[in-house]
Chain A
Amino acid sequence: MNDSIPDEPAYEPAAADSPSPTGPLTPADPDLPLPVTEEDLLPPEDVAIDIRNLSHRFRNHLAVDRVTFQVTPRSLHGFVGPNGAGKTTVLKLICTLLQPQIGAVRVHGKDVGRETKAVRRQIGFMPDHFSMYRQMTVTEYLDFFAAAYGLSLADRRRVIGDVLALTDMDGRRDSLISGLSRGMQQRVGLARVLVNDPDLLLLDEPASGLDPRARIELMEILRALRQMGKTIFISSHILSELAELCDSVTIIDRGQIRYSGAMRELLEHDSDTAAFRLTVPGEQPGLEERLLGLDEVSAVHRIEDSDEYRIECAVGSETENRLLAAVLRLEIPIEGFQKDLRHLNDAFMDLTEQGVR
């Protein structure tokens, strides 16, 4: 049997134009701008996850096509895409469950194919299903995994106490896993991921199937973990929460990366135009024309059925301050003025294609 922790590389990291092992790769869409270019990339040692030209094929299905992106340390990175986009495949490639066929995946500078054992010690993976021994108690379950990671008895007791406290499961430590609710099982799953104190957490759909309260509490735990210095790579369909939670995001569709970078940059409309939202009390006749008359403003739209105006202007130095000063000079009553960000849903819809792959 081949050891799953190989001493030799299980694959040859290849150049971007290398052919697929089972046939030619689908050429990337020429109209699509490259989301990440070589110049954007940091050295692999400086990032938590470094993926370059990664392709993976299941028989005739190209699940991942020349994917390149990076995740910076101590960040909360969202990974979104439609069903069948290749999210879980990428996650499994990062967490060593699959071996890369083409391309390279590095975790904290370590190649997942060559240094599998070292990578596994640094990561904690929570799959999108409850991977649990249901006839165990919570303590037995965590104790088993902590022991498997080679922790001493004293360390195990301390760590189990800590992770149970963090996930607020201390009161249920002697409960059987089979008797726990879905949300609680998810917490136990998260506690399990934390027993070996990994630097990088890979969470596949952690909030799926949870009620709103459990979801909010889970997000709170993730925030706390980020503050503790963990890098969190989270795949999810709940875009509103990801938008609030994540520092950066990668959007994947049909096996190809559509966007990878800071969340804020994605939510801003484009690099040439900035948009702001102005809220006024009640009807203000002629306001649209007055706003259009300002030098800084290129377009104004009144938001339907509201007292809000969307103002677009060219991006420049201190755009926000200059525009606000100009609006104030108009001497109109103002209730609110803020940068108008796109919702992640809109960005997602813009960047992904319709239809099931």
Chain B
Amino acid sequence: MLRGTLALMIRGLRFDCRRWQMHALRFLLVAIFLFILFISWIEYVVAIGTAPGLGFFSYITYTNFVFITLGGMSFFTSSITEEKEEQTLGLLKMAGVNPLGILLGKLGPRLANALLLLAIQFPFVQLAVTLGGVHLRQIQAVYITLAGYIMIMAGLGVLASVIARRTRGAAMMVSTAVMLPLLIQMVLAIFGLSGATAPLLSYAREAIAWISIWSVVERLGEVMSLGFDESPLGRQLYCHLGGAAAMFITSWLIFERCTRQPHTAAESGLISRKVRSVFRMRTLGLSILITLPVLIIVFVVYPFARSAITGVNPRFVPTYEAVVAVTLVLAIGLPIVTAIVAAVRRQPAGRDIGECWSGSRSLIWKDLHFVSGGALGLLYRIVLYSLITGTIAFLIGYFGGRTSYPDDWVWSELGGWMLGVGLVAGTFELASNVGRGLRTEVQWQTLSTLAMLPQSMRVMVWSKLLSGLAALIPAATMVLIGLLMLLEPMTRGIVNGINRAGNDIVGLVELLSLPMMFVLVLLEIAVFVELTAFFALTIRWGYVVLAAVCTYFANSVGGIAWSMFGLTLSLGSMGGGNSRLLATLIVLVPWIVATGISVALVIALYHAIGSRIRHLAGQS
């Protein structure tokens, strides 16, 4: 067993050692830390802020936390599923490697890599002590906490990887496991607010808080607080190590059962074909048309229905309840209506998704149906975004105390959240769709046949993007509704800006700040999507996370540079000068620089993607 395990581990480590990407990632990490350290040192020299060391260390700590969470969803989840997908798990078993050996051999190198990424930071982060505000004990405690967090994410990832048939499914499982304790805590909080404070409930709450991987947030907060002088080994570490061990043992015990009968591509295809023969685009379109009037009716009628049941005056029925009612009707009703419509309009065999769209649109058709999930994927997203909107409305209405009188409800607040959540989720979804579209072409070796089509490579890349955009209709609708709700405050802000801009340059800058921010956000989305596409053509998994890491760091570095520029200008003009001009420069110059860099990045990545596709097409 030991020989097989060692062979697998050595293979994994060698593979990673030979990949320049892993070394580049480590180098990038260290470079970024040094940059942030340099900024903190400047802060220290010019004596801005009370504890630059703590500021620097907090930034590094929470950045690590975010990326361990994101990385854990993809890095560990593919450990076993990649063998299942490549149908090599049977070969490993036949080679005499037992389940424990496979688990250790596959998880070991990944765990070693993740811990190594954490370990290389340690010497640099200790420099924070010299800047003040943080003790060595705190640094040790944080890194031990994060190591425990990596362990539990690894345990969770490998368990999901054993159970799931594909990496995507495993990642979904881990994401749900990460989010579930939050939802449970939310539900428990609702009970708590309702006065249900039974001892059993509080025990349950505490147990969830400790079992949940989110206890790491609590522990980090505790460690980072001033005057921390406890042991670096907290209860969270033991809980996480215990949880990781339990999940690893469970993975071992269920390994044979879960991998005995490999799920063939033909079976998966058969299921997806059955599903898509029921849910078609036209069916979904018709169902939406049927459901829309029902939603309007629910919104209008809800206060009266509630009044009829409870006796409350319709004027006093909270608006958020009507919003929640509408989103629930959409989330539950639309699938039912679609199923009914599909049953009534049954299609003959061989006409599942209709004919392909002609010309260059054929590429969009293919990716929309076979990468983004087609009509079923759209239906799933509509349900998901409805539920998210309903949850936001509930949280704002219930916890924000907007229950006493309907006039307390502010549409723009919901609009802001819908815009923000829709934009972030939509961006990730777009990047994921584009990345998956390209990755599958590489995986199935179809780039050479696609490259042979009379469409240019440019058309092919744009088609990938457009098919991703087509799948974004639910997220885009959410963003649009959010924007409509924000129309009134936005218009008011613009009118004020115009009034001020007439006689004040600062007013003009304020007026321009919204479109300026809009341009930057668009460019950032473009850079993120392109980075995902490029990484999808370069690495097998984790491309979205890696792109997110790079975008996040670029953003942080840009933000810090922007602040430093502002600070330098302010300090330089302390002896006097035109303060209005200064304020304008502080906003405009960094914006111009950031836009220029972003545009250059967008163009460079666009060319890099094209070149990479051509290279891969020539190779395949």
Contacts and interface: CB of A to CB of B under 8 A. Distances in A.
A72 interface: no
Given A131-B445, A140-B353, A144-B366, A120 B614 contact: no
Contacts of A326: none
Interface stretch (A13-21, A89-97, A239-247, A331-339): A89-97
A130 B620 CA distance: 11
Interface string B606-620: 110111001001101
A177 B446 CA distance: 14
Contact of B269 (A5, A127, A134, A146): A134
Interface residues of A, number: 46
A147 B370 contact: no
Given A4-B457, A139-B350, 8 more contacts: A1-B610, A95-B452, A134-B265, A135-B269, A135-B370, A150-B358, A173-B350, A178-B266
Nearest to A134: B265
B370 A97 contact: no
B180 interface: no
A179 B455 CA distance: 29
A64 to B, nearest CB: 13
9 contacts: A2-B457, A3-B457, A97-B452, A125-B449, A131-B449, A147-B362, A148-B454, A176-B266, A179-B269
A147 B355 contact: yes
A264 to B, nearest CB: 33
Contacts of A3: 456-458
B273 interface: yes
B269 A97 contact: no
B266 A133 contact: no
A179 B452 contact: no
Interface string B438-453: 0000001110110111
Nearest to B606: A1
Contacts of B617: 97
Contacts of B265: 134-135, 178
Nearest to A93: B618
Nearest to A126: B449
Nearest to A125: B452
B38 to A, nearest CB: 35
Nearest to B448: A127
A127 B448 CA distance: 8
A152 B358 contact: yes
Interface in B260-292: 264-266, 268-270, 272-273
B52 to A, nearest CB: 43
Interface in A147-192: 147-153, 156, 173-174, 176-179, 192
B454 A121 contact: yes
A147 B444 contact: no
A117 B454 CA distance: 6
A1 to B, nearest CB: 3
A134 to B, nearest CB: 5
A97 B450 CA distance: 10
B536 to A, nearest CB: 16
A132 interface: yes
Interface of B: 264-266, 268-270, 272-273, 349-350, 352-353, 355-363, 365-366, 370, 444-446, 448-449, 451-458, 461, 606-607, 609-611, 614, 617-618, 620
A143 interface: yes
A1 B454 CA distance: 17
A341 B518 CA distance: 77
B454 A144 contact: no
Interface in A92-128: 92, 95-98, 117, 120-121, 123, 125, 127
B607 A2 contact: yes
A214 B615 CA distance: 33
Given A134-B444, A135-B268, A179-B266, A148 B455 contact: yes
Contacts of B272: 135
A136 interface: yes
B454 A120 contact: yes
Contacts of A98: 618
Contacts of B614: 4
A137 interface: yes
A131 B618 contact: no
A200 to B, nearest CB: 12
Contact of A174 (B268, B350, B445): B350
Contacts of A125: 448-449, 452
Nearest to B461: A1
- Please provide the 5 A-B residue pairs with the shortest distance between their CB atoms, ordered closest to farther: A1-B610, A4-B457, A147-B356, A147-B362, A179-B266
B268 to A, nearest CB: 7
A123 B362 CA distance: 20
Contacts of A152: 358
A120 B617 CA distance: 15
Contacts of B448: 92, 97, 125, 127, 131
Contacts of A96: 451-452
Given A131-B449, A147-B365, A137 B350 contact: yes
A357 interface: no
A1 B609 contact: yes
Contacts of B363: 148
B307 to A, nearest CB: 51
Given A135-B370, A140-B353, A176 B270 contact: yes
Given A134-B265, A134-B269, A1 B452 contact: no
B446 A147 contact: no
Interface in A175-216: 176-179, 192
B358 A147 contact: yes
Contacts of A147: 355-359, 361-362, 365
A127 B618 CA distance: 11
A139 B457 CA distance: 25
Given A4-B457, A98-B618, A140-B353, A127 B268 contact: no
B454 A149 contact: yes
A131 B358 CA distance: 21
A290 interface: no
A129 interface: yes
Contacts of B606: 1
B512 to A, nearest CB: 31
B449 A192 contact: yes
